[in-house]
């Protein structure tokens, strides 16, 4: 094998490893997370190249008035107000931007029907800073989410 | 003279408005398969389908260029079970579209699912404009199916979707 071929193969191997490592970095976001208020648990999953978070557990799953499962009753689109809150995708369209951060996504607040721009920063493997904002990131609010530890069977 | 000019301008504006009347065509997906690997857990489970269209070809068949696509709306969405399976396992369905470049949108929902039904006819959102997904070419149709209980065997759901394209 000549030197050129060896160098090319080594470069290809390096590039492949780099790609796999970036993918693994990005996928650390996957899992079930709990916001600081403890009212819900959110499962972050990957669909295509993006990350989405849906509600999988609610501390109070029933509407206090109707005693029926809560729905997205504040959605600005009337046709979608019957979407169940349990299962609702409130984190949408995040892509990994490197340095433990996921950006270009949005977060939906079902309590007022508003959607905010959002960035996610992983402080450590079990802690996320979720920052929702309008316009520029300076004017926003950060909530700390903790990874739900699922005991091994 | 000034009044005549104003009158001619208004007439020209009205004529142009009449010439730009919109036209619609429909795009149908029949018995497309929503897949998800089991086991499934009680609650919302995600069934996905990747779909690719050629927006130029689609617009061309209606006699337009793809740049003339003004809006795309979901007109109907019907979900049915694969042969031998039942919809009685489910409480509700909601359907969203996701794309690599476009922001995801919820397009239809049915909650609760009527008992003993063979088909679920979802209520569609008149506000969700899906043009961006059609312009992208490849997008994901994501069906969130709310299961009443844990389920082991693989489930398959079939979708019949009709989109209305306005030019």
Tally the domains of chain A. Answer: 1
User: What digits encode the pLDDT tens for the residues B20-78?
Assistant: 578 999 999 999 999 898 899 999 999 999 999 999 999 999 999 999 999 999 999 99
Q: Are B81 and B33 in contact (CB under 8 A)?
A: no
Kindly state the greatest CA–CA separation across chain B. Answer: 82
User: Residue A56 belongs to a domain with what CATH number?
Assistant: 2.40.128.520
Minimum mean pLDDT range among A24-33, B37-46, B84-93: B37-46
Q: Is residue A98 part of a domain?
A: yes
**Mean predicted lDDT score pLDDT of chain A:** 90
Can you tell me the distance from the alpha carbon of B119 to that of B76, in angstroms, rounded to the nearest whole number?
13
Q: Do A48 and B91 touch (CB under 8 A)?
A: no
pLDDT at B37: 87
The least confident of A37-41, B62-66, B154-158 is B62-66
Residue A107: asked if its preceding bond is cis (omega within 30°), the reply is: no
Report all structural domains of chain B as residue ranges with CATH numbers, in order of start: 22-166 (2.60.120)
d(CA A119, CA A103): 5
Question: Residue A12 falls within a domain, yes or no?
Answer: no
At residue A17, the pLDDT reads 64
Chain B residues close to A89, C-beta within 8 Å: 96, 104, 144
Which residues on chain B are in Cβ contact (under 8 Å) with A47? 46, 48, 98, 140, 142
Report the pLDDT averaged over residues A60-89.
93
Q: At residue B166, does pLDDT exceed 50?
A: yes
CB B27 within 8 A of CB B58: yes
pLDDT confidence bin for B11, thresholds 50/70/90: very low
CA A88 from centroid of its chain's CA atoms: 12
Contacts of A79 in chain B (CB under 8 A): 109, 123-127
Q: pTM for the full model?
A: 0.83
pLDDT band, residue A14 (cuts 50/70/90): low
> Could you list the residue range(s) of the whole structural domain that residue A104 is in?
30-147
CA-based torsion, A68, A74, A78, A83: positive or negative: negative
Per-residue model confidence (pLDDT) at position B22: 86
Per-residue exposure over A28-37, b if at least 16 CB sit within 10 Å of its own CB, e if not:
ebebbbbbee
Cβ of B109 within 8 Å of Cβ of A92? The answer is: no
ipTM for the assembly: 0.79
């Amino acid at each position: 094998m000549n030197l050129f071929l060896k160098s090319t193969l080594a470069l290809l191997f390096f590039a492949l490893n780099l790609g796999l490592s970036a993918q693994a970095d990005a996928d650390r976001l996957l899992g079930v997370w709990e916001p600081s208020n403890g009212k819900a648990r959110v499962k972050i999953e990957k669909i295509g190249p993006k990350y989405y978070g849906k509600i999988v557990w609610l501390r109070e799953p029933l509407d206090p008035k109707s005693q029926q499962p809560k729905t997205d009753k504040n959605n600005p689109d009337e046709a979608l107000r019957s979407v169940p809150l349990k299962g609702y995708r409130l984190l949408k369209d995040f892509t990994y931007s490197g340095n433990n951060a996921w950006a270009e996504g949005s977060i939906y607040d079902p309590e007022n029907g508003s959607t905010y721009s959002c960035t996610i920063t992983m402080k450590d493997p079990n802690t996320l800073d979720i920052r929702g904002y309008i316009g520029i990131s300076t004017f926003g609010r950060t909530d700390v989410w903790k990874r739900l530890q699922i005991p091994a069977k | 003279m000034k009044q005549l000019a104003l009158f001619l301008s208004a007439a020209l504006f009205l004529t142009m408005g009449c010439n730009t009347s919109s036209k619609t065509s429909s795009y149908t997906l029949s018995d497309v398969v929503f897949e998800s690997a089991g086991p499934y857990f009680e609650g919302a489970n995600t069934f996905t389908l990747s779909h690719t269209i050629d927006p130029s070809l689609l617009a061309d068949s209606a006699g337009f260029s793809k740049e003339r696509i003004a809006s795309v709306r979901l007109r109907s969405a019907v979900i049915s079970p694969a042969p031998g399976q039942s919809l009685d396992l489910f409480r509700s369905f909601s359907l969203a579209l996701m794309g690599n470049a476009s922001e995801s949108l919820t397009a239809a929902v049915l909650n609760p699912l009527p008992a003993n039904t063979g088909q679920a006819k979802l209520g569609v959102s008149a506000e969700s404009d899906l043009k961006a997904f059609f312009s992208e070419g490849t997008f994901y149709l994501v069906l969130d199916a709310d299961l009443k209980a844990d389920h082991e065997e693989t489930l398959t759901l079939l979708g019949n979707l009709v989109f209305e394209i306005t030019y």
